[in-house]
């Protein structure tokens, strides 16, 4: 039992200790409001909360104090907000209801958080927020990509095959190629030219342009006979006169008339001696004849070879390979024809005047230009024929090159799009994660509240038990004794049992 109580510095008590001693098994304390009765009860209930106060127990054996006061009522009696008309008893029930109230506040906070994040993510109508910004960004890029398709579709549509009828698919393809395309970047003219052969109607193998072999004709230009002065034998008696007059070619021409004029001079019509005829024959000896023949053969061979080449060039121009620059070739042929005509004239003069030195117009630079034109055409022919042989592969390569060009044109827009999209994706991902996390916590909190409510509503068996009791209510009527009947209240309803003498438990 308690032997004494010492109180100081608490509530209405001063710092000077007040001791209540001489206590018995039963003690009664009387006093007005505010005199300290409640304080004494609180000290007895838990003296550890009041370090300036103390309770002395008999033989030092502390018993468990039970104090019924306002604090006890607050801890043990509570009217449930969820179960109207039901009062819960005990500290555990009050603590459970407190936990429910706190948990519901937390649930409301989570709900508000989810609503705020959801609105920021997709807007009030589901079309705004960060997702709306991303949709707008995607739509803007789609329009820019489609504009590039429209711009180049006429000539490069083969490279856009499969993506020409959908702006969304076209944009997706651009973004796909942005990270995967490793093709060589070509210029637009190169792409358009290649597209004609690769993406056009199925191409066929093209014949090569025949080459021109001008070696033989060019070799004639260096024939030494052209620079040789072909004259007669110098030790003949008439040689001195011919040399002095430099009329060897004139004499050679007149010799033909002399021979058919019965050795009469064709110029003065005088008869000549046999010695003169002999001197004339000796002057134009075998060497002279050989050189003259060489000149004749050169003139003939040159004309023949030149005509062959001219004919071949004419045939090449008529065939008009689509890879050959025909206009340039025509210009070079015209220059060649003019020089060949001039050279034929030089050779004709050499035949007539063998003693003259002749130099032919060089054709090497003309043939070099012609060769370049033909070689360039044949290079393209080879490339074309290779394309025909590997058409599927070439189409795949060119398609990649077309997309590479489109990506390069959109480079600035794609860079800006990627930067903005990365930021929006991060924001959307973070908000989505937060919503999912809050939703999970909300579900757990709702489960927690449900479990706590089960603990609170565990008083329901008591309610059911009370309702199962039979409560008898005496309802006398003033008229007669026979009219007095018993009613029994059971589960909120009334039923007649009978007269007093007929009563039985229902």
Say how far apart CA 456 and CA 478 lie, in whole Å: 46
Say how far apart CA 368 and CA 320 lie, in whole Å: 20
Say how far apart CA 426 and CA 326 lie, in whole Å: 61
The angle formed by the CA atoms of residues 31, 32 and 35, to the nearest 5 degrees, is 75
Cα dihedral across residues 274, 280, 283, 284: positive or negative? negative
Cα distances (angstroms) measured from residue 26 to each of 23, 57, 182, 332? 8, 15, 100, 141
Residue 489's pLDDT is: 37
Residue 87's pLDDT is: 54
Mutual angle of helices 411-456 and 391-409, in 10-degree steps: 80
Residue 132's pLDDT is: 92
Closest Cα partner for 234 from 283, 278, 289, 287? 283
Work out the burial of residue 347: count CB atoms within 10 Å of its CB; fewer than 13 is exposed, 13-18 middle, 19 or more buried.
buried
Give residue limits of the domains in the chain: 2-67, 181-232+285-409, 235-281, 469-502
Reduced DSSP (H G I as helix, E B as strand, rest coil) percent helix, strand, coil of the chain, to 5:
65, 10, 30
Per residue of the chain (506 residues), give pLDDT as tens. 888 999 999 988 998 999 999 888 888 888 888 888 889 999 998 889 899 999 998 867 777 788 888 777 777 666 555 555 555 555 666 787 788 889 899 999 999 999 999 999 998 888 899 999 999 999 999 999 999 999 999 999 999 999 999 999 999 999 999 999 999 999 999 999 999 878 877 778 899 999 999 999 999 988 888 887 765 445 444 444 444 445 445 555 555 555 555 566 666 666 655 555 555 555 554 566 777 788 888 899 999 999 999 999 999 999 888 899 999 999 999 999 999 999 999 998 888 777 778 889 999 999 999 999 999 999 999 988 887 888 878 889 999 999 999 999 999 999 999 999 999 999 999 999 999 999 999 999 899 888 887 776 555 445 445 555 544 444 444 444 444 343 333 334 444 444 444 434 44
Residues whose CB falls within 8 Å of the CB of residue 130, separated by 6 or more in sequence, listed in order: 120, 121, 122, 424, 427, 428, 431
Say how far apart CA 99 and CA 108 lie, in whole Å: 14
Say how far apart CA 315 and CA 421 lie, in whole Å: 63
Q: Phi then psi for 206, rounded to 5 degrees?
A: -100, 145
- pTM for this structure? 0.42
Strand partners, 493: 490
What is the torsion angle, in degrees rounded to the nearest 10, for the CA atoms of residue 69, residue 73, residue 75 and residue 77?
A: 160
Residue 483's pLDDT is: 44
Residue 33's pLDDT is: 85
Q: Which long-range contacts (CB under 8 A, 24 or more apart) does 210-215 make?
A: 210/312, 210/315, 210/316, 210/374, 211/371, 211/374, 211/378, 212/309, 212/312, 212/313, 212/367, 212/370, 212/371, 212/374, 214/309, 214/363, 214/367
């Amino acid at each position: 039992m308690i032997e004494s109580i010492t109180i100081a510095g608490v509530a209405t008590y001063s710092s000077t200790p007040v001791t209540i001693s001489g206590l018995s098994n039963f003690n009664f304390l009387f006093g007005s409001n505010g005199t300290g009765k409640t304080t004494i009860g609180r000290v007895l209930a838990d003296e550890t909360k009041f370090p300036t106060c103390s309770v002395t127990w008999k033989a030092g054996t502390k018993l468990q104090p039970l104090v019924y006061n306002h604090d006890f009522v607050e801890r043990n009696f509570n009217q449930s907000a969820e179960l109207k008309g039901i009062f819960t008893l005990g500290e555990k029930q009050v603590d459970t209801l407190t936990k429910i109230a706190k948990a519901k506040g937390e649930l409301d906070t989570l709900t508000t958080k989810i609503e705020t994040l959801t609105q920021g993510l997709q807007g009030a109508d589901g079309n705004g927020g960060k997702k709306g910004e991303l949709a707008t960004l995607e739509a803007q890029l789609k329009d820019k990509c489609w504009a590039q398709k429209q711009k180049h579709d006429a000539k490069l549509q083969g490279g856009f095959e499969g993506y020409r009828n959908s702006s969304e698919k076209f944009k997706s393809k651009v973004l796909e190629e942005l990270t995967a395309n490793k093709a060589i970047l070509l210029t637009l003219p190169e792409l358009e030219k290649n597209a004609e052969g690769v993406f056009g109607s199925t191409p066929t193998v093209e014949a090569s342009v025949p080459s021109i072999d001008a070696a033989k004709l060019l070799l004639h230009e260096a024939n030494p006979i052209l620079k040789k002065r072909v004259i007669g034998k110098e030790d003949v008696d008439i040689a001195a006169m011919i040399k002095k007059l430099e009329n060897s070619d004139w004499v050679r021409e007149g010799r033909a008339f002399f021979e058919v004029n019965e050795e009469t001079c064709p110029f003065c019509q005088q008869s000549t001696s046999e010695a003169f005829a002999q001197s004339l024959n000796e002057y134009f000896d075998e060497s002279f004849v050989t050189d003259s023949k060489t000149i004749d053969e050169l003139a003939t061979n040159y004309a023949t070879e030149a005509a062959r080449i001219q004919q071949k060039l004419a045939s090449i121009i008529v065939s008009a390979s689509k890879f050959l620059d025909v206009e340039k070739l025509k210009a070079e042929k015209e220059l060649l024809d003019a020089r060949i005509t001039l050279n034929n004239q030089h050779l004709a003069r050499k035949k007539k005047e063998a003693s003259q030195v002749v130099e032919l117009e060089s054709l090497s630079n003309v043939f070099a230009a012609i060769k370049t034109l033909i070689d360039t055409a044949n290079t393209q022919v080879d490339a074309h024929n290779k394309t025909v042989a590997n058409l599927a592969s070439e189409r795949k390569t060119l398609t990649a090159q077309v997309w590479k060009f489109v990506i390069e044109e959109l480079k600035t827009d794609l860079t800006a799009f990627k930067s903005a999209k990365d930021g929006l994706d991060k924001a959307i991902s973070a908000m989505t994660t937060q919503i999912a996390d809050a939703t999970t916590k909300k579900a757990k909190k709702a489960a927690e509240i449900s479990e706590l409510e089960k603990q609170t509503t565990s008083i329901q068996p008591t309610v059911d038990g009370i309702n199962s009791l039979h409560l008898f209510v005496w309802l006398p009527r003033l008229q007669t004794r026979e009219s007095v009947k018993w009613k029994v209240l059971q589960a909120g309803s009334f039923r007649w049992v009978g007269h007093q003498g007929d009563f039985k438990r229902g």
